């Protein structure tokens, strides 16, 4: 379960190279002292604000992302990178350039791959305020506080001025060597045993991984002369004395079925550690192989790691730690990654999976030690199933080889014998199943033969009955067809005679009807003409009377509507004053101030709410008076106004604050 590549941050050596290049380019003081480089004008703090002091160093944003700033082009383009501290990946890159006017900056972000733009205003050498172009502004402020802390704040703006702070994170400086991501180091062999000792537990109840610095004094690494920080460790380094030798971590009871032997091998500048069983059936059942990295002293580049296929995500890395005294192999597996992606920058939930670690070093007593430890990582940072075991690696002597080979051979003979017994039992069970099946199929075939014979005779009898029935049905069909033809001919003759008589009757009736209709039309025309004259006169009289009535009714309705609307408005204000219930609470990012929390009113239109906030025991009327114009509800969650109580916090806890509505009036 090991990948083909380590989990070290691939961009950190490049970042350090860029930092050195930037130092040489912009002429930092120490660069002058060491190289005698020519003076380059310092960064203009009036143009770049706090960025002039944030360069050449990484900053930790609270418990979340790590942020770095470095020049792409000194004084012209500044790159800002947000890095996931768990895996060292760059999740967002921003480029900052001077704006069109002095004191203005422009930021182009890779967030969500949309090249979003922010406009920045340099308020002072210690402060810059940003707001996104478009309807959703997402404003924030980066500044140095009076005490020197660097603050990243989400803010509210009005006319480009900060009116409120919604949240705040402190950005802590990190040393250049600490800028590398805190990768959870894990590794284990394919068949190496897992310890069961408990890991330390922090005050928050989260298991903390054991550290080599917590070993007993006898297990601490032998302090050989410390290597220079820039020196690359080749081969097995401080473990070179054990090159070509074979060791074991197993007791006699652990020999069967495990890779009990470990061999340390130097291959030029590289190293190889092999795990194999006690029967020497393979030279390397599980292998670590690594070469010195050309990117950072102490880092190793894996050239081969035995791994199991089919795993979702496993990464492996290697390095020399503890000033080059301890060889560490790290492995981790990631089951799940937060659905709230890094682009949103709202969560820093670690990956869920397991982590494991293997360390090799020389103890103070000169013995070779191997420590295997790890845990299961929870989605929100919790740890479980922790293990931590340190083994003293004993040299493999001919006597020990003989003893362990005998034990392994006995274990294998017992295993082979048990497998033979299991195979024989499976063969006997299979033979019995086959015999039972053959007997069953023999009886079934005999029954099937008898049934087939009986069914053939039944089929022949059925065929004879079917032939007779078919002949009878054909004769009946012919007789029925003849009778139907005779009946059809008789019916056609009767219908033809009836149709002729009916046609004559219809012609006579049509002539009489036409004459009657003509006389009726002429009489109706005369009556309609007379009626139209009378109706026209009456219609004019009614229209005039109706016009006058509608005008009077409309005037009365308008007067009544105005009176009713005024009454309803007054009634709704009174009802809102009597029914509105408010309380006090503390909102996240509100700097400890008390806020009024309450629902919307039922008033239609703009309403102003007058209230009194007082502590329990304060007489009514002696509290803090407040007014909220155009009240739409009070909330900390953005679904209403954030109504700060004047003079808050009060002299009592927020749970003891009473908020009473004193009046509800119109906005005018």
Return the CATH fold of 12-179: Lipocalin (2.40.128)
Q: Is the dihedral of CA 391, 393, 396, 399 positive or negative?
A: negative
List own/partner pairs for 345-348 with CB under 8 A and 24 or more apart: 345/64, 345/65, 345/82, 345/92, 348/63, 348/64, 348/65, 348/85, 348/86
Name the one residue in this structure whose structure tokens are 């182009």: 108
Model confidence band, residue 319 (pLDDT cutoffs 50, 70, 90)? confident
**What per-residue confidence (pLDDT) applies to 189?**
34
- For the segment 237-270, what is each residue's pLDDT rounded down to a tens digit? 888 888 888 999 898 888 877 788 899 998 888 8
Structure tokens at 362: 């020389």
Domain ranges in the chain?
A: 12-179, 212-396, 414-569, 580-666
Rounded distance, CA 304 to CA 285, Å? Answer: 13
Rounded distance, CA 595 to CA 166, Å? Answer: 13
Confidence check: pLDDT of 453 > 60: yes
pTM of the model: 0.33
Rounded distance, CA 283 to CA 242, Å? Answer: 17
Confidence check: pLDDT of 493 > 50: yes
Rounded distance, CA 98 to CA 104, Å? Answer: 6
**What per-residue confidence (pLDDT) applies to 40?**
44
Model confidence band, residue 113 (pLDDT cutoffs 50, 70, 90)? low
Rounded distance, CA 527 to CA 50, Å? Answer: 101
Helix, strand or coil, per DSSP, at residue 15: helix
Under 8 Å between Cβ of 361 and 325: yes
Percent of the chain at pLDDT > 90 equals: 25
Confidence check: pLDDT of 545 > 90: yes
Rounded distance, CA 201 to CA 183, Å? Answer: 20
Under 8 Å between Cβ of 23 and 56: yes
Instruction: Answer with the residue of higher pLDDT: 457 or 393.
Output: 393
Model confidence band, residue 531 (pLDDT cutoffs 50, 70, 90)? very high
Q: Which residues sit opposite 391 in a β-bridge?
A: 370
Instruction: Answer with the residue of higher pLDDT: 542 or 17.
Output: 542
**What per-residue confidence (pLDDT) applies to 595?**
92
**What per-residue confidence (pLDDT) applies to 624?**
92
- For the segment 192-239, what is each residue's pLDDT rounded down to a tens digit? 333 333 333 232 333 333 333 333 445 666 655 544 445 788 888 888
Rounded distance, CA 630 to CA 639, Å? Answer: 14
**What per-residue confidence (pLDDT) applies to 219?**
64
Q: Are strands 90-98 and 624-628 parallel, antiparallel or unpaired?
A: unpaired
Q: What one-character DSSP code corresponds to residue 269? A: T
Model confidence band, residue 612 (pLDDT cutoffs 50, 70, 90)? very high
Low-confidence winner among 97-101, 157-161, 603-607, 655-659 (lowest mean pLDDT): 603-607
**What per-residue confidence (pLDDT) applies to 577?**
86
**What per-residue confidence (pLDDT) applies to 15?**
41
Confidence check: pLDDT of 529 > 60: yes
- For the segment 116-167, what is each residue's pLDDT rounded down to a tens digit? 889 999 999 999 999 998 888 889 999 999 888 899 999 999 988 999 998 8
Q: Is 294 left (phi over 0), alpha (psi -120 to 50) or beta?
A: alpha
- For the segment 560-571, what is each residue's pLDDT rounded down to a tens digit? 998 888 888 888
Q: What is the DSSP string of 413-477?
A: HHHHHHHHHHHHHHHHHHHHHHHHHHHHHHHHHHHHHHHHHHHHHHHHHHHHHHHHHHHHHHHHH
Confidence check: pLDDT of 22 > 70: no
Q: Is 652 left (phi over 0), alpha (psi -120 to 50) or beta?
A: beta
Confidence check: pLDDT of 615 > 90: yes
Q: What one-character DSSP code corresponds to residue 75? A: T
The rounded mean pLDDT for the chain is 77
Q: Which residues sit opposite 93 in a β-bridge?
A: 81
Confidence check: pLDDT of 400 > 80: yes
Closest CA to 608 of 540, 529, 663, 549: 663
Closest CA to 374 of 211, 220, 217: 211
Residues ≥6 apart with Cβ < 8 Å to 49: 105, 122, 123, 124, 125, 126, 127, 128, 142
Rounded distance, CA 239 to CA 259, Å? Answer: 21
Confidence check: pLDDT of 410 > 90: no
Rounded distance, CA 105 to CA 119, Å? Answer: 6
- For the segment 44-78, what is each residue's pLDDT rounded down to a tens digit? 888 999 998 998 778 887 667 789 999 999 989 99
Percent of the chain at pLDDT > 70 equals: 78
Closest CA to 152 of 169, 137, 166: 169
- For the segment 83-92, what is each residue's pLDDT rounded down to a tens digit? 887 778 888 8
Instruction: Answer with the residue of higher pLDDT: 202 or 626.
Output: 626
């Amino acid at each position: 379960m090991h990948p083909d590549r380590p989990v070290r941050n691939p961009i950190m050596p490049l970042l350090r190279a860029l930092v050195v290049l930037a130092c040489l380019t912009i002429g930092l003081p120490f660069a002058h002292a060491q190289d005698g480089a020519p003076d380059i004008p310092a960064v203009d703090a009036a143009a770049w604000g706090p960025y002039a002091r944030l360069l050449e160093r990484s900053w930790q944003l609270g418990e979340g992302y790590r942020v770095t700033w470095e020049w792409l082009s000194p004084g012209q383009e500044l790159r800002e990178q947000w890095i996931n501290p768990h895996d060292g990946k760059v999740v967002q890159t921003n480029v900052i350039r001077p704006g069109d006017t002095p004191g203005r900056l422009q930021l182009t972000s890779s967030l969500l791959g949309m090249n979003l733009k922010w406009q920045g205003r340099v308020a002072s050498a210690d402060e810059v305020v940003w707001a996104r172009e478009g309807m959703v502004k997402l404003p924030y402020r980066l500044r140095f506080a009076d005490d020197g802390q660097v603050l990243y704040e989400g803010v509210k703006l009005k006319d480009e001025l900060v009116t409120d702070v919604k949240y705040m994170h402190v950005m802590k400086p990190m040393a250049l060597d600490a800028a590398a991501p805190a990768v959870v180091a894990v590794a284990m062999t394919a068949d190496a045993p897992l310890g069961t000792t408990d890991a330390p537990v922090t005050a928050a109840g989260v298991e903390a991984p054991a550290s080599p610095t917590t070993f007993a004094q006898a297990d601490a690494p032998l302090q050989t002369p410390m290597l220079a920080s820039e020196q690359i460790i080749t081969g097995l380094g401080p473990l070179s004395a054990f090159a070509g030798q074979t060791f074991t971590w197993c007791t006699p009871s652990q020999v069967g079925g495990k890779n009990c032997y470990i061999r340390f091998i130097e291959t030029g500048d590289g190293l190889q550690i092999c795990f194999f069983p006690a029967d020497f059936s393979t030279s390397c059942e599980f292998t670590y192989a690594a070469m010195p990295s050309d990117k950072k002293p102490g880092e190793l580049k894996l050239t081969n790691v035995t791994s199991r296929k089919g795993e979702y995500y496993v990464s492996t890395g290697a390095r020399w730690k503890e000033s080059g005294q301890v060889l560490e192999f790290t492995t981790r597996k990631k089951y799940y990654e937060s659905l709230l992606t890094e682009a949103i920058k709202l969560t820093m939930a670690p990956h869920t999976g397991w982590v494991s670690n293997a360390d090799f070093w020389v103890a103070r007593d000169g013995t070779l030690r191997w420590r295997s430890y790890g845990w299961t990582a929870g989605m929100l940072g919790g740890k479980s199933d922790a293990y931590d075991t340190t083994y003293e690696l004993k040299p493999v002597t001919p006597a020990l080889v003989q003893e362990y080979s005998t034990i392994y051979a006995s274990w294998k003979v017992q295993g082979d014998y048990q497998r033979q017994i299991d195979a024989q039992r499976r063969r006997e069970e299979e033979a019995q199943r086959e015999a039972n099946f053959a007997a069953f199929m023999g009886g079934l075939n005999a029954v099937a033969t008898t049934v087939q014979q009986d069914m053939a005779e039944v089929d022949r009898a059925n065929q004879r009955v079917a032939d007779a029935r078919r002949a009878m049905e054909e004769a009946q069909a012919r007789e029925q067809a003849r009778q139907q033809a005779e009946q059809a001919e008789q019916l056609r003759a009767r219908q033809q005679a009836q149709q002729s008589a009916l046609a004559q009757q219809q012609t006579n009736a049509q002539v009489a009807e036409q004459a009657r209709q003509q006389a009726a039309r002429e009489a109706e025309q005369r009556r309609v003409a007379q009626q139209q004259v009378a109706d026209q006169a009456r219609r004019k009289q009614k229209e005039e009377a109706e016009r006058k009535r509608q005008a009077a009714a409309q005037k009365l309705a308008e007067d009544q509507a105005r009176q009713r609307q005024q009454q309803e408005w007054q009634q709704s204000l009174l009802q809102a004053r009597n029914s509105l219930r408010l309380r006090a609470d503390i909102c996240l990012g509100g700097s400890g101030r008390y806020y009024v929390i309450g629902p919307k009113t039922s008033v239609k239109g703009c309403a102003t709410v007058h209230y009194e906030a007082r502590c329990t025991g304060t007489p009514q009327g002696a509290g803090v008076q407040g007014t909220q114009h155009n009240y739409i509800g009070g909330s900390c969650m953005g679904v209403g106004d954030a109504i700060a109580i004047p003079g808050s916090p009060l002299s009592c806890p927020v749970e003891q604050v009473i908020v009473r509505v004193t009046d509800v009036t119109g906005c005018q």
